[in-house]
Amino acid sequence: MKDEEFTAILNSESSKTGKTLQEFLEERAANSSTLSKDHKEFYLNLEEFIMRGGKRLRPIAFIMAYKGVNGSLDDKIYLPSISIELLHNATLVHDDIIDHDTMRRGGPTFHTKYTQLYTELAADPAGFGLSVGIIGGNTLFNLGVEAILNSSFENDKKLEALKFYTEGFREVIEGVFLESVMAMKKFSNEREYLTMIRLKTSSLFEKGILMGASLAGADENIIKALSSYAICTGQAFQIQDDILGVFGAEEVTGKPSDSDIKEGKMTLLTIKLLEACNQAEKDKISKIYGNRNASEKNIEYLRNLLVEKNILDYCKKLSEKLSDEAIKHLENVRGSITSDVIEFFTKLSEFVIKRRK
């Protein structure tokens, strides 16, 4: 598949899922207006947060998995496909609270927006913002369930999709917990890191694909192969995300390139750097990682170390290796799903390690 064909599919399906998302959320906002104008504003702010940006890779992969097994696309797949995007955004809203982030996709995080909106009214604006952020994330999770239940698929297929949906949410929670423990201990290893990102990042990408495939009636062999593909692709995606979190351009990613360092995130970059440094370097690093007041000079010192000690190169190569492994798993479904979808998923695995945002 040529780059322009792949891009055309991404753009087309992103537009369709975006339209479905917008209509779905606007309907919820309209229905909630009977409760109060604050409820309507709440749903419209959730809509603004979601529609602000995002690659929509999870619902697109969901749709393409359905197409690959079903043999063709039909309109009824779009409503359930947005469930995984709603769930993904639910985790982002809560992640931003956990990470104390104030920016997401070039705008305020959801809880920060409510802090700003109620600065004059709330006795504790920051506390109010955090409370609404928790409620917002919970609401998005529930809306994802509604999107599945309100679809026109048979009940047994909806139940199968819901099983993958709730499994995905559970695994994300387990991954975030593990990530939090790793950051608290300020120590980890590559194996634990790969487990964490399998749970936190790969899970929703994987479960979205399995939901789409199961709605099309995929058998166990297809589910197993697509699961392995998605886990490797998701891990490759996260390693690239970690790289962008330190070396990315803020104007492109929409997020500060020093936030992962200041938050003390135990990324693969951090883990391999600590393994490669002497004690004096570790002592200096420990004063920078997790320090929200770290200077740009200190941040740049860490970036230089990551390059000089070949940590950046190591992480890029591991990401490429995982992408290659993902593509190999697709060979197990050749003949069982359409060739154009195999080509798309191959291109997608290559895309996630080359992206710049």
Region 245-259: mean pLDDT is 76
pLDDT tens digit sequence for 268-324? 999 999 999 999 999 999 899 888 889 999 999 999 999 999 999 999 999 999 999
| Domain coordinates in residue numbering, the chain | 3-352
Position 55 scores a pLDDT of: 85
The alpha carbon dihedral of 285, 289, 293, 299 has a sign of positive
The residue type of 4 is E
Which of the four pLDDT bands, split at 50, 70 and 90, describes residue 53?
Answer: confident
Share of the chain above pLDDT 90, in %: 85
**Average pLDDT of the chain?**
94
Angle at the Cα of 129 from the Cα atoms of 39 and 21, rounded to 5 degrees: 50
Q: Distance between CA 182 and CA 135 in Å, rounded? A: 26
Position 253 scores a pLDDT of: 66
What are phi and psi for residue 23, nearest 5 degrees? -65, -40
Region 169-196: mean pLDDT is 94
Question: Which of 76-90, 96-110, 133-147 is the least confident region?
Answer: 96-110
Position 183 scores a pLDDT of: 85
Residue 312 contacts residue 267 (beta carbons within 8 Å): no
Position 346 scores a pLDDT of: 97
Name the token pair of 352. 């996630």
pLDDT at 66 over 90: yes
Strand partners for 108: 103
Region 37-50: mean pLDDT is 97
Q: May I ask the CATH class of domain 3-352? A: mainly alpha
Position 260 scores a pLDDT of: 83
Position 187 scores a pLDDT of: 82
Region 70-91: mean pLDDT is 97
Which of the four pLDDT bands, split at 50, 70 and 90, describes residue 39?
Answer: very high
What are phi and psi for residue 152, nearest 5 degrees? -100, 20
Which of the four pLDDT bands, split at 50, 70 and 90, describes residue 259?
Answer: confident
Residues in the chain: 357
Region 28-38: mean pLDDT is 96
SS (H, E, C) the chain: CCHHHHHHHHHHHHHHHHHHHHHHHHHHHHHHCCCCHHHHHHHHHHHHHHHCCCCCHHHHHHHHHHHHHHCCCCHHHHHHHHHHHHHHHHHHHHHHHHCCCCEECCEECHHHHHHHHCCCCCCCHHHHHHHHHHHHHHHHHHHHHHHHHCCCCCHHHHHHHHHHHHHHHHHHHHHHHHHHHHHHHCCCCHHHHHHHHHHHHHHHHHHHHHHHHHHCCCCHHHHHHHHHHHHHHHHHHHHHHHHHHHHCCHHHHCCCCCHHHHCCCCCHHHHHHHHHCCHHHHHHHHCCCCCCCCCHHHHHHHHHHHHHCCHHHHHHHHHHHHHHHHHHHHHHHECCECHHHHHHHHHHHHHHCCCCC
Question: Which of 27-31, 53-57, 143-147, 189-193 is the least confident region?
Answer: 53-57
pLDDT at 254 over 70: no
pLDDT tens digit sequence for 129-177? 999 999 999 999 999 999 999 999 999 999 999 999 999 999 999 999 9
Name the token pair of 223. 């589910």
